[in-house]
Amino acid sequence: MNDRLPAGGAPVINESGIPIQPLYTEADLEASGGTAMLGRPGEYPFTRGIHPLMYRKQPWTMRQYTGFGNAADTNARFKYLIANGQTGLNVAFDLPTQCGLDSDDPLADGEVGRVGMAIDTLRDFEIAFEGIDLDRITVSLTINGAAAILIAMYLAMAERRGFDVRALRGTAQNDILKEFIGRGTWIFPVEPSVKLVVDTIEYCAAHAPKYSPVSVCGYHIRESGANPAQEMAYAFCIARAYADEVLRRGVPIDEFAGRLSFNFNIFGNLFEQVAKFRAGRALWAKIVHDEYGATKPGSMWMRMIAGGGGSGLTFEQPELNIVRGAYYALISALSGAQTMALCCYDEAYTIPSEHAQRISLRTMQLLIEEMGLTDTVDPLGGSYYVETLTNQMRAEMERIIADVDARGGIVALVGDGSIQAQVSAQAYARQMDLEAGRLRKVGVNCYRADAEEDPKVELHSYDETDAAAQVARLAEVRRTRDPAAVAAALEGVRRAAAEGVNTMPAIVTAVKAYASVGEITAALTAVYGRYREPVKF
Amino acid sequence: MTDTVQAKPIRVVLGKPGLDGHDQGAKVVARALMAAGMEVIYTGLRQTPEAIARIALEEDADVIALSSMAGSHLNFCQKLKPLLDAAGLDDKLWIIGGNLPRQDHDALRALGFKGIFATGARLDDITAFIRGNVGVHQ
C-alpha cells in the first residue's frame, strides 16, 4: 500500500494479525477510516475516554487482588493496603468458595483458604469487612460460579452495617461464560449459569442500582490463548449474551447497561494494547447505541479494570516483573482505565507478600505523583500510528464478532467447547513460538541468567490451622443459627430455581438466615444439576 | 528421536487434580505429547484422587501426569499415592507439572513422582523425559 515508504526489514505483524508499518502518516490514518470514530473525551463514541476530564478529575481506583486464609487474615491485609493509599478492594476467594463448597466438604480438603479467603456464611463477610468504610472504599468480588450467593452476602452485610444499599457501589466479577473458556470455577450447566447472572443484573437494577453486578472478562480468555482483538471481541459477545437475556425479562437497556463493566488483560505490545482499549471503547458504545438503542451516555461507557497480565510475567528472573508491572500500569493509564490492579512480581511463586503488594501499589502511585499521567486526557490521541491502529483493531474486533454470530453465537460456541478448543490451540502455538525463540521473552528465551540464581522470593506459607479454625467457625454458625429458618430459606431457593423466577430474593433471605455457600449451592444444583465439561481438542 | 514404527504408542493419563481451574498449561502439554505421537487421555477439571486412580487403571496408562497450579499438590499427591499403589499402578511413570515450589520437590519425589516440571519447563524436556523413563522400573 505505502510503496513510498522505505522498507523496514522483515515484516512486523502484531498479535492480532495486523501488519505494522515502519512509519505512519496522515495518509494511513485516512485509509483506515480517518477520525470519524474519534470524537472528544466524554462524548460518543468515547474512543478518547468516557469522561471529559478523566484523571484530571479523579485518578484511577487502585485495587490490588487480595485474599488468603480466613476472613480475619484478609481483613488485616485489606487494612494494610488501605493504610498505604489503596482506594478500592479486590477480593480473592479460595477455590472451595468459588466452586460453591463449604470448608468442611471433603472436596475442600487441602484447599481451604489456600488461594484466597474462605467464605462459608454471612458471618465470614462480617469479619472480612469489619472496620472498612464501604462508602469510601469500593469492593470488587472476584467470584463467578457462586456469584449470586456472594453478591447477596455482600449486600446483606452492608445493609446490616447500616449502609444504604441503593447507594452502595462495588463490583462482582460474575462472568460465568468466560469461566467455561478459562479459569474454570463453573458449577451449574451453561444455561442456568447464565440465568443466575441475569438474575443478579435484574435484581441489582431494582435494589442496588449503583452496584455493578457483572464485570465481563476478556482477561482470562486472553490468558487461555486468545489474541488481544479476540479477547475484547469475545468479551463483547458475552456482554451481549447477558444483555439479550436481561432485555427478554423486560428490563430496559438504559436501566442496566450502565452497570455492566469489563476486565481486560494488558500484557503484550504497548501500542496494540492502547489501540485495543481505545477501539473497544468506541465499539462497545456503538453496539449499545446502534444494536440496543440505548440513549443514556452512561449505558454506552466501557468502564474497565486493567493492568494485570499474569501470562506476561515470568518465573525466570522474577524481579523483572516489577519492571513489566510498571509498563503495564503505564499502558493502563494511557488507555483510560477506571480501575487498575497489577500482578505482583512474585505471583509465579506464591500468594503475593505484603512487600510485593506495596511495590505494585507504589508503582501506580508514582505514575500519578511523578510521571504526569493524570495531567491530560488521552495523551496518545492524534498519533498517526495509534489512531490508525485503533481503527484497524476496531475493524478486526467487528470481524470476529460477526464471525461468532455467524457460527451460532457465543453461548453455543462456549457450550460445545469450540471457543475453548480454538484458544487452546493458539496457546499451544504461542508456547511453541516461545520455545523456538520466535516470540522473544526476556529471561526466558533470551538474556537468560547464566546460573540459576536463588530468586529470593518470600513464599507465603499455608496455615493448616487457619483451615481448621474456618471449619470450626462454620460448625459454630450451624449450631447457633435458627435451623427452621435456614431450612425454609433453602426450600425457598430451591423453589425459586424450580419455578424459573428470579432466585435473588430467596438467596438474600437464605444468606441472612446464615445458610452457607455450600447449602445454597446444593439447593440450586438440586434443580439445575452440575456442569459437565466438554473436553475437546 | 522417533519411536520405531512397531512400537505401541505411550498412553498418558493427564489429570487436573482438585478444584484448580487453570487448564491452559495442561492442554498445551496434552497437545505437545500428542504431537510427539503419544496417546493422551485428558481428564478435564476437578478430579479427585479416586477418579484419577480409576481413570489411570481403566485407560491402561503408561504415564500418570498431573497439572497443579493452585498449591494443593502435596496434599493431593499424598492421597493419590496409596490409591495408585493399591491399583497396582506403582510401576507406571508418575510425573507432575505446574506451580511447584522447589522446596516441595523432594517430598514429591519421595511420593513417587519421578518427573517434576515446574513453571518454565520446556515441552521438549517433558516429552524426552517420558520417552526416557516410561517402562523403566526403579
Residue B119 lies in a domain: yes
Would you tell me the crossing angle of helices A504-512 and A190-207 to the nearest 10 degrees?
A: 80
The pairing of strands B93-98 and A214-217 is unpaired
Cβ-defined contact of B70 to A107 (cutoff 8 Å): no
Chain B contact set for A109 (CB, 8 A): 75
Residue B83 lies in a domain: yes
Task: Choose the closest CB to A535 out of B44, B70, B120.
Answer: B44
Chain A contact set for B67 (CB, 8 A): none
Give the pLDDT band of residue B138 (cuts 50, 70, 90). Answer: very low
Q: For residue A456, what pLDDT is reported?
A: 81
The C-alpha cell that represents A430 in the structure block: 504461542
The C-alpha cell that represents A140 in the structure block: 470488587
H helix runs in A99-181, sequence order: 122-128, 147-160, 176-181
Residue B126 lies in a domain: yes
Q: For residue A452, what pLDDT is reported?
A: 67
B128 pairs with which residues across the strands? Answer: none
C-beta atoms surrounding A406 within 10 Å: 8
CA A414 to chain centre: 18
The C-alpha cell that represents A535 in the structure block: 473436553
Distances (CA, A) of A262 to A42, A49, A257, A325: 18, 14, 12, 20
Residue B6 lies in a domain: no
pTM to 2 decimal places: 0.95
Domain count, chain B: 1
d(CA B74, CA B72): 6
The pairing of strands A61-62 and A339-340 is parallel
User: Residues of B at the A interface (Cβ-Cβ below 8 Å)?
Assistant: 18-24, 27-28, 30-32, 34, 42-46, 48, 70-72, 75-76, 99, 101, 103, 118-120, 122-124
A217 pairs with which residues across the strands? Answer: A263
Cis peptide before A45 (omega within 30 of 0): yes
d(CA A211, CA A213): 6
Task: Choose the closest CB to A533 out of B45, B119, B122.
Answer: B45
Is A18 an 8 Å CB contact of chain B? no
Cβ-defined contact of A428 to B18 (cutoff 8 Å): no
Cβ-defined contact of B22 to A315 (cutoff 8 Å): no
**Pick from A307, A226, A294, A228: which is nearest to A260 by CA?**
A294
Residue B67 lies in a domain: yes
Provide the residue type at A377 as one letter: V
Q: Which domains does chain A have, with CATH numbers?
A: 12-436 (3.20.20.240)
Per-residue pLDDT for B137 more than 90? no
The Cα of B71 is separated from the nearest Cα of chain A by a number of Å equal to: 7
Q: For residue B7, what pLDDT is reported?
A: 76
d(CA A89, CA A350): 20
Residue B2 lies in a domain: no
d(CA B19, CA A208): 32
Secondary structure (3-state) at A113: coil
Chain A contact set for B34 (CB, 8 A): 537
Burial class (CB in 10 A: 0-12, 13-18, 19+), B2: exposed
Q: Which residue positions in chain A have pLDDT lower than 70?
A: 1-8, 452, 537
Task: Give the pLDDT confidence of B82-99 residue by residue, as tens digits.
Answer: 999 999 999 999 999 999
Q: For residue A1, what pLDDT is reported?
A: 45
Task: Give the sign of the dihedral formed by CA A422, CA A428, CA A432, CA A435.
Answer: positive
Overall average pLDDT of the B61-78 stretch: 97
d(CA A197, CA A174): 7
H helix runs in A3-43, sequence order: 26-31
The pairing of strands A211-212 and A170-172 is parallel
Task: Choose the closest CB to A459 out of B45, B101, B122.
Answer: B101
Greater pLDDT, A269 or B7: A269
The Cα of B90 is separated from the nearest Cα of chain A by a number of Å equal to: 24
The Cα of B137 is separated from the nearest Cα of chain A by a number of Å equal to: 31
**Pick from A365, A336, A343, A54: which is nearest to A222 by CA?**
A343
Task: Choose the closest CB to B72 out of A114, A349, A535.
Answer: A114
**Pick from A390, A293, A397: which is nearest to A36 by CA?**
A390
A211 pairs with which residues across the strands? Answer: A170
Is the separation of the CB atoms in B63 and B13 below 8 Å? yes
Q: What is the DSSP letter of B42?
A: E
Name the residue of chain A whose CA is nearest to B119's CA: A315
Cβ-defined contact of B123 to A109 (cutoff 8 Å): no
d(CA B124, CA A445): 14
Q: For residue B1, what pLDDT is reported?
A: 47
Domain that holds residue B109: 11-133
ipTM, 2 dp: 0.93
Chain A contact set for B123 (CB, 8 A): 431-432, 435
Cβ-defined contact of B24 to A348 (cutoff 8 Å): no
Cβ-defined contact of A184 to B45 (cutoff 8 Å): yes
C-beta atoms surrounding A379 within 10 Å: 14
Overall average pLDDT of the B110-122 stretch: 96
The C-alpha cell that represents B121 in the structure block: 519447563
Cβ-defined contact of B42 to A537 (cutoff 8 Å): yes
Per-residue pLDDT for B55 more than 50? yes
Give the pLDDT band of residue B15 (cuts 50, 70, 90). Answer: very high
Residue B70 lies in a domain: yes
Give the pLDDT band of residue B5 (cuts 50, 70, 90). Answer: low
Task: Give the pLDDT confidence of B20-47 residue by residue, as tens digits.
Answer: 999 999 999 999 999 999 999 999 999 9
- Whichever domain contains B21, its CATH number is 3.40.50.280
Residue B138 lies in a domain: no
